[in-house]
Amino acid sequence: MTNQAPFNQLSHKQENISSEPRRYLVNIDSISMNQLFTDCLVIGAGIAGLRAAIEAADPQLGRGCNVIIVCKAAVQDSNTWQAQGGIASVLGKKDSFESHIADTLNTGCGISDKKVVELVVRRGPELIEQLLRWGTDFDKINGHIAMTLEGGHSHPRIAHAHGDETGRIIAQTLINKVRQNPSIKIIENFFAIDLLTEDNKCTGIIGYDKHGRLQIIWAANTILATGGAGQLYRETTNPEVATGNGIAMAYRAGAVLWDLEFMQFHPTTLYVAGASRALITETLRGEGAVLLDSNGHRFMKEYHEAAELAPRDIVSRAILAQMLKTNSTHVYLDVQHFRKGYFAKRFPRIFELCKSFNIDVTHDLIPVRPSAHYMIGGVKTDMKAATSIKNLYACGEVASTGLHGANRLGSNSLLEGLVFGKIAGQVVSQSTKVVATHLRHPLIKYQIPHSDRTRLDTIDVRNSLRALMWRNVGITRKAQPLKEAEEIIRFWQRYVMDKVFDSPAGWECQNMLTVSLLMAHAAQQRQESRGVHFRSDFPETDDAHSKKHIEISKDV
Ligand SMILES: Cc1cc2nc3c(=O)[nH]c(=O)nc-3n(C[C@H](O)[C@H](O)[C@H](O)COP(=O)(O)OP(=O)(O)OC[C@H]3O[C@@H](n4cnc5c(N)ncnc54)[C@H](O)[C@@H]3O)c2cc1C
């Protein structure tokens, strides 16, 4: 490895990190199980999966596949549905692709893939215009999509819908579009347990349906769009579905994973004891909200010249440092100076949320602190959304395309899901030649040795894991706590991974242990600070040795 080659080709490979020996989490006897067949299977119904399905089923592009989308809960249960602030794209006359590209690369701290950044930024406007044509009710000014500013962007380029309900409005548009197409079938409450493979080729999945049955879905092509992993942390903005399933499934199947040390923490989530950590969008700071500590002091200027508009990692660490300095559990967002009536109109969801906790934002400060928000790392994909496993594609938060580098620029993730969802669907549509029912399906017989260890309280393991990740693999990291986290997770794995569970809670717990271990391991390997990965024992960025990606895969 040298620093002469383009850095995006540089990676440091780690193999067989996890102590889990298993290829599959459940016993399989493919002949005797329920079976479905499809040209294209999409796992996940967020922006990436829905957009991919629409494209894969389009008969004007290629074969016009029959598509099955599975999602483990209701179609509305996704990170996409929760997205508030907006979607970034160059739509204003004073803005330019070059500026959006430069901002994205700048935030990525030296390890973004420039080709990917260019692709995503340049494709953005046409796909947002398409969403508009399909019925997304973006907020407008004088008939044009209204654009707002967010930290790290040098122009107002964030399109939003119904104020702070951007994700819900976009997702609803895509769901409507999917439902209009008889070639696409959505199966809700279907838990994908494992990807089925033969000779490094994906042939479908084994899952668990709403009737409590194991079910095989054979697919000519599979698109993984299972979203993020915020639930690995005690404090998170992510809904319950975000447990890193796709990363764990892909790891067991032998896919190459990338950048798992990079978990982005959102600086401002509502901190009210007992409430879930609801996100208070960054756009609020873009529109003038300021951060105060518990003494009423505006502190951000002491940490960064852009103050409240500094990149997320800097704001998160500054808040944490200020909490320590003032011996407080949180800081505050102050919006009392906003024009009368503006907040309720522009941020209706947050307004209602605060009101439900007796916080009147026109007179009260909003208590906030950081929490786990966005998984930058994931399943490594190329410009065509292809993974290292044949016939397996990945898009959205589960994928690691190299767009975000070591830090994600706000509102670039919905954009990435939209662009790579379309690309994945298009590639699948153009490459699917054989009708799924005519494919030869492998015989899979897989038997796990019986374990007679006692039954487990998986909720307890899960809660302990989330607390450990928050404490030891959180916003600020260092060698000893990271090593301790890895040891503890390995210990838990010894008695959790040998079980055969019969419901999603157990498989999810196993997946969470797998992904957490890989993250703790990757965080130890990166002995420098870069983007969202901050090591207090290596506070500097080390371009000479560490300007590369950490790649992880398992021999299967
Ligand atoms: C509160 C919040 C606010 C955000 N605000 C913004 C914003 O303003 N702008 C922005 O760009 N980004 C924002 N983000 C990030 C953005 O929403 C996500 O990165 C993006 O929506 C991810 O889309 P996705 O399609 O990859 O995954 P998701 O939308 O998370 O969808 C994942 C899907 O996979 C399914 N799934 C998971 N595991 C399984 C399994 N085992 N079997 C079957 N199905 C499974 C889930 O059920 C779900 O349908 C925000 C995120 C959160 C949490």
The response to whether residue 70 sits with its C-beta less than 6 Å from ligand 1 reads yes
Angle at 355 between CA 351 and CA 361, to 5 degrees: 60
Of 16 and 508, more confident? 508
pLDDT of 286 higher than 90: no
Run of H or E residues at 393? strand 392-394
- Cα–Cα distance measured from residue 536 to residue 408, given in angstroms and rounded to the nearest whole number: 21
Cβ burial, residue 404 (10 Å; 0-12/13-18/19+): buried
The predicted pLDDT at position 438 comes to: 62
Mean pLDDT within 49-69: 91
For residue 386, what is the DSSP state? B
pLDDT, the chain, mean: 92
Question: Per-residue pLDDT tens for 125-183?
Answer: 999 999 999 999 999 999 999 999 888 899 999 999 998 899 999 999 999 999 999 99
Cβ burial, residue 13 (10 Å; 0-12/13-18/19+): exposed
The predicted pLDDT at position 435 comes to: 60
Of 51-65, 67-81, 392-406, 408-422, give the lowest mean pLDDT range.
Answer: 51-65
CB 368 within 8 A of CB 266: no
The predicted pLDDT at position 4 comes to: 36
- Cα–Cα distance measured from residue 56 to residue 131, given in angstroms and rounded to the nearest whole number: 17
The response to whether residue 228 sits with its C-beta less than 6 Å from ligand 1 reads yes
The predicted pLDDT at position 2 comes to: 33
Confidence of residue 63 (pLDDT cuts 50, 70, 90): confident
Task: Report the atom number in ligand 1 closest to the C-alpha of 249.
Answer: 41
Distance 150 CA to ligand 1 centre (A): 20
Is 408 one of the annotated active-site residues of the chain? no
DSSP-based three-state secondary structure for 196: strand
Rounded to two decimals, the pTM is 0.94
The predicted pLDDT at position 18 comes to: 67
- Cα–Cα distance measured from residue 477 to residue 520, given in angstroms and rounded to the nearest whole number: 10
Ligand 1: which of 69, 169, 226 to mutate, most ligand atoms within 8 Å of CB?
A: 226
Ligand 1: which of 68, 78, 232 to mutate, most ligand atoms within 8 Å of CB?
A: 78
- Strand segments, DSSP code E, in 182-329 are 184-187, 191-198, 201-208, 214-224, 257-258, 263-270, 290-292
Angle at 337 between CA 332 and CA 339, to 5 degrees: 130
β-strand partners of 34: 215
Question: Per-residue pLDDT tens for 198-207?
Answer: 999 999 999 9
The response to whether residue 166 sits with its C-beta less than 6 Å from ligand 1 reads yes
Angle at 227 between CA 113 and CA 244, to 5 degrees: 100
Residue type, 341: G
Distance 228 CA to ligand 1 centre (A): 6
Run of H or E residues at 158? strand 158-159
CB 185 within 8 A of CB 217: no
Run of H or E residues at 54? helix 47-56
DSSP-based three-state secondary structure for 286: helix
Pull the structure tokens for residue 550. 């950490």
The predicted pLDDT at position 61 comes to: 75
Confidence of residue 9 (pLDDT cuts 50, 70, 90): very low
310: number of Cβ within 10 Å:
21
From the list 51, 234, 285, 312, the catalytic residue is 312
Cβ burial, residue 144 (10 Å; 0-12/13-18/19+): exposed
The predicted pLDDT at position 1 comes to: 32
The response to whether residue 283 sits with its C-beta less than 6 Å from ligand 1 reads no
**What are the backbone dihedrals phi and psi of residue 174, each rounded to the nearest 5 degrees, phi first?**
-70, -40
Task: Report the atom number in ligand 1 closest to the C-alpha of 415.
Answer: 11
The response to whether residue 385 sits with its C-beta less than 6 Å from ligand 1 reads no
The response to whether residue 45 sits with its C-beta less than 6 Å from ligand 1 reads yes
CB 217 within 8 A of CB 68: yes
Ligand 1: which residue has its CA nearest to atom 14? Answer: 83
Mean pLDDT within 226-242: 96
Cβ burial, residue 550 (10 Å; 0-12/13-18/19+): buried
Strand pairing class (34-43; 67-70) = parallel
Give the residue carrying structure tokens 């797998």.
514
The response to whether residue 378 sits with its C-beta less than 6 Å from ligand 1 reads no
CB 245 within 8 A of CB 508: yes
- Cα–Cα distance measured from residue 307 to residue 303, given in angstroms and rounded to the nearest whole number: 7
Question: Per-residue pLDDT tens for 419-477?
Answer: 999 999 999 998 876 665 566 778 899 998 887 766 789 999 999 999 999 999 999 99
Confidence of residue 287 (pLDDT cuts 50, 70, 90): confident
- Cα–Cα distance measured from residue 328 to residue 339, given in angstroms and rounded to the nearest whole number: 30
Mean pLDDT within 81-90: 94
Ligand 1: which residue has its CA nearest to atom 6? Answer: 83
pLDDT of 554 higher than 70: yes
The response to whether residue 245 sits with its C-beta less than 6 Å from ligand 1 reads yes
Task: Report the atom number in ligand 1 closest to the C-alpha of 373.
Answer: 53
Cβ burial, residue 289 (10 Å; 0-12/13-18/19+): buried
The predicted pLDDT at position 349 comes to: 85
